[in-house]
Amino acid sequence: MKKTIVIILGGITFATLFYNHFLGLNTAVYALFLIIALAVMNTRSLLKPTIIASAAGMIASSIAIMMHGSGMAVMCYFLSVFLFIGMVASSQASIYTSWFNGLYNLFFGMFHDFIFNIQKIKEEPTSTYAVSQIIKITVIPILLIILFSYLYSLANPVFAEWLAFIDLSFIDGLWFFTAILGGFIMGGILHCLMRLIL
């Protein structure tokens, strides 16, 4: 449950900080979020000197982005994030191996849980009662509310005016995509942590 909460918070934090925004302060906030997520999931691993050094490098490069905003600072930030994730996965590895490991875990480690969970689901027979119950409880009432609102707005002009005032322009598909991408990235990072814990 803790892992799911951290993944969801990671996705929302990633989307809030980086969707339609400049890097600046957002990189420092996200670096602190990654360090706090590591502390929440596994405090012992945060005390290793290599992880402390890579976390300090990540924070220093995010401060360099805030101060200078140069391309070199951005490149150093991404390299330090890859290094941090690689050091979390294997704190005894060299810097070059940690960069590769961090890059690999960031992009491919996020799919590891999905692939192996699908294999576990195929092996274990499950009941479809829970899925059908969730559909009955959520989807059917939402469809009925939409249908009722549409039909009632056709019959009642006052209700139609009220529905016209509802503004759904804040819903942005690209923001949700960015949040899902951030959740996948956080899931890849937590996959490294779970290997470290187990």
Whether 158 maps to a domain, the answer reads no
| Long-range pairs of 192-197 with CB within 8 A, sequence gap ≥ 24 | 192/85, 192/88, 192/89, 192/105, 192/109, 193/38, 193/41, 193/42, 193/45, 193/88, 194/3, 194/41, 195/89, 196/42, 196/45, 196/88, 196/89, 197/41, 197/42
Give yes or no for residue 117 having a pLDDT over 60: no
Give yes or no for residue 75 having a pLDDT over 80: yes
pTM, two decimals, is 0.60
Give per-residue burial for 24-47: e unless 16+ CB within 10 Å, then b.
eebbbebbebbbebbeebbeebbe
Top-confidence residue, 157 or 38? 157
Q: Is the CB of residue 178 less than 8 Å from the CB of residue 15?
A: yes
Whether 20 maps to a domain, the answer reads yes
Whether 159 maps to a domain, the answer reads no
Domain count, the chain: 1
Confidence grade of residue 5 (pLDDT, cut at 50, 70, 90): confident
Whether 95 maps to a domain, the answer reads yes
Average pLDDT over residues 88-114: 74
d(C-alpha 136, C-alpha 140), whole Å? 6
d(C-alpha 90, C-alpha 101), whole Å? 8
Whether 165 maps to a domain, the answer reads no
pLDDT of residue 163: 85
Top-confidence residue, 104 or 116? 104
Least Cα distance to 77 among 43, 34, 48, 13 occurs for: 34
Whether 35 maps to a domain, the answer reads yes
Whether 181 maps to a domain, the answer reads yes
pLDDT of residue 113: 57
Top-confidence residue, 74 or 177? 74
pLDDT of residue 151: 92
Top-confidence residue, 50 or 102? 50
Print the domain residue range for 55: 2-115+173-197
Whether 74 maps to a domain, the answer reads yes
Lowest mean pLDDT among 48-52, 92-96, 194-198: 194-198
Look at residue 171 and give its three-state secondary structure: coil
Tell whether the torsion through CA atoms of 131, 134, 135 and 136 is positive or negative.
positive
pLDDT of residue 170: 66
pLDDT of residue 56: 92
The pair of structure tokens assigned to 173 is: 């598909």
